[in-house]
Amino acid sequence: MSEFSLKIDGKDVAASDDMTILEAAQSAGIAIPTVCHHEKLEPFGGCRLCTVEAEAGGRTSLVAACIYPAQKDMAVKTRTPQIDKIRKVLTEQLLAYAPESEVLRGLAREYHADKDRFPKEPSFCILCGLCVRYCAEVKQKSAVGFVERGPNREISFVPEIAAKECWDCKECFPLCPTSALQAAYVLTRSLTSFKSTAQPEAGKQAATNTVPQ
């Protein structure tokens, strides 16, 4: 592993080649907004709110800080008029699903995003994938996953797995940046539509259990 320094917002930051731009920035106390990122999980690069401008080898590009490797002599800008514009639009798009989300409201204040700019889509899910990835990577159960693609993408619990695994876990609930109730809702929907003879009350109980913090 080699150690080097790069510039983030004009500040010299020490980093190593196993670090992402986000990690390098965080180690130097420079904040970059994230929604889909979690320390326990593999970088995903899905929400793109951490988009920054990185210049390396004479090339400037917009990259996702959470997943892009820090490089020697790289110069990173975490705020530019364009980056702010991107974050504003992305926040507005996500707010259409979850207007009350604290994470998104904070971003809206910072980037002057209008929560009513796009028509409301009452799914409450912004598809950050935290629940999906936590279940797969940390719990290694894959009880919840993505289905469909593009604008039709949604999260869904696999009833056969969820009916067995979700009882004593529900660790994904508090990870949800929009509302813990969202995962509870999707879980309930999956389980109530699942005709399990083994645990007919599965859905009801799973949803009413208290969330372990």
Question: Which residues here bind other proteins, judged by CB under 8 A?
Answer: 43-48, 51, 62, 64, 67-69, 82, 85-86, 89-90, 93-94, 96, 118-119, 126-127, 129, 146, 148-153
b/e map 35-49, b = 16+ CB within 10 Å: bbbbeebebbbbbbb
Tell me how far, at minimum, the Cβ of 147 lies from other proteins, in Å: 10
Comparison of 70 and 207: residue with beta carbon closer to other proteins: 70
d(CA 74, CA 58): 10
Helix axes 81-95, 102-111, angle to 10 degrees: 140
Comparison of 129 and 159: residue with beta carbon closer to other proteins: 129
Tell me how far, at minimum, the Cβ of 167 lies from other proteins, in Å: 27
Comparison of 87 and 170: residue with beta carbon closer to other proteins: 87
Comparison of 96 and 135: residue with beta carbon closer to other proteins: 96
For 175, half-sphere exposure in the C-beta direction (CA atoms, 13 angstrom radius) is: 21
Tell me how far, at minimum, the Cβ of 160 lies from other proteins, in Å: 19
Tell me how far, at minimum, the Cβ of 119 lies from other proteins, in Å: 7
d(CA 90, CA 54): 19
What are the CA-CA distances from residue 154 to residues 4, 48, 72, 145 (Å)?
41, 18, 39, 8
